[in-house]
Amino acid sequence: MNIKRHGAALGLVAASALLLSACGSDNNAQRGDTAAANSANVDCGGKKELSAEGSSAQTNAIQEFVAEYAHICDGFNVAYNPTGSGAGVKQFIGGQVDFGGSDSPLKESEVEKAMQRCSGNPAWNLPMVFGPVAVAYNLPGMEGLVLKPDTIAKIFNGGIKKWNDPAIRELNSGANLPDKNIVVIYRSDESGTTDNFQKYLQAAAKDSWTQGVGKSFKGDTGEGKAKSQGVTDGVKATEGAITYVEKSFADAANLGIAKIDSGAGPVELTDEAAGKAIAAAKIKGSGHDLVLDLNALYASKEPGAYPLVLVTYELVCSKGYDAETSKAVKAFLTTAATSGQDNLTKVGYVPLPQEFRTKLLDAIKAIA
């Protein structure tokens, strides 16, 4: 077993891809012996540079994973292209990347194609990143905005058009809400974030959101922007705008983040509130295919829980890789599921609950 724990500079190269780079020796020095001590035994080796593509929602988490992987496995990299979940699924199924990233599990229509890509073996959905989704807005002077699921649904399908609409005023007594148009900014590209957001609205506000779900936005209102960074930039540049985006992006842009009142009082988006909701999520997949059942989570009215979260899956072959690729994929995913989780809070994600880490490691070990 070739287990390495040396510092390493991180360089990611992907043609026409966003370069995700971590600092070299300084970054590894910060990680130090603590991260190495907290990591599982990682069997480094195999393919020197893995390729992956998909969800932009997990970009910052992947950057942390890759930095830790380079720290533990000297000389090994992952080139990750954050082109969105739809592209990630297509590239994985097409055999163009070693693994894909998606904010939604493979659909039934994609399962057979993925099996063909994996030489007749099942592909697995492995939940690696939990990210709270913020309802982020740009409304100067308005802090602590409170919205209910029904109100959010009506904003994003055009049913509520003004910031001083009675439904919003009722939830924000005493607030100085302007007589200003609400500008909805949505993801123009296929996105698992969109899919999860619409699934949340369908579960939590079924009477108000009748547009359906899917990776394409169905609200029929607003302006489309590409990728998570695109919608964030759009809101930041537009007074009166609102969007749905991962917390890490909203935090980085210093946007307002709405509190959600699911029926038991307003809940601020915090790690604790999101973690409370995540702890209730159940696995509905079989064996090592760890697909989560989020419908009950989205409709939850549990006090103190923030239910609007997405899960990013890494799409992998259970079997069918060549030996070099299999070894490297397992080493990277083991790192991501263990010490790679240590720094996720600072970039806007919620570290995996321990029970998920155990199940993930069992699945990763089973990859052949």
SS3 296: helix
* Helices (H), ranges, 54-191: 59-72, 85-93, 108-117, 149-156, 166-171
d(CA 274, CA 350): 7
Long-range contacts of 67-70 (CB under 8 A, 24+ apart): 67/10, 67/22, 67/27, 67/28, 67/31, 68/31, 68/35, 68/39, 68/335, 68/336, 68/339, 68/340, 68/342, 68/343, 69/331, 69/332, 69/335, 69/336, 69/340, 70/8, 70/9, 70/10, 70/22, 70/28
Is 153 annotated in a binding site? The answer is no
- The answer to whether the beta carbons of residues 12 and 80 sit under 8 Å apart is yes
Do the annotations mark residue 103 as ligand-binding?
A: yes
Eight-class DSSP state of 177? -
SS3 113: helix
The answer to the question of whether 57 is labelled as a binding residue is yes
**Could you tell me which of 274, 258, 309 has the C-alpha nearest to residue 138?**
258
Is 262 annotated among the ligand-binding residues? no
Between CA 21 and CA 165 the distance in angstroms is 44
Confirm or deny that 85 is annotated as ligand binding: yes
358 is in an annotated binding site: no
State yes or no: 56 annotated in a binding site.
yes
Instruction: Compute CA 43 distance to the chain's CA centroid, rounded to the nearest angstrom.
Output: 27
Provide the annotated binding site: 55-57, 85, 103, 191-193
Q: Which residues are annotated as a binding site for phosphate?
A: 55-57, 85, 103, 191-193
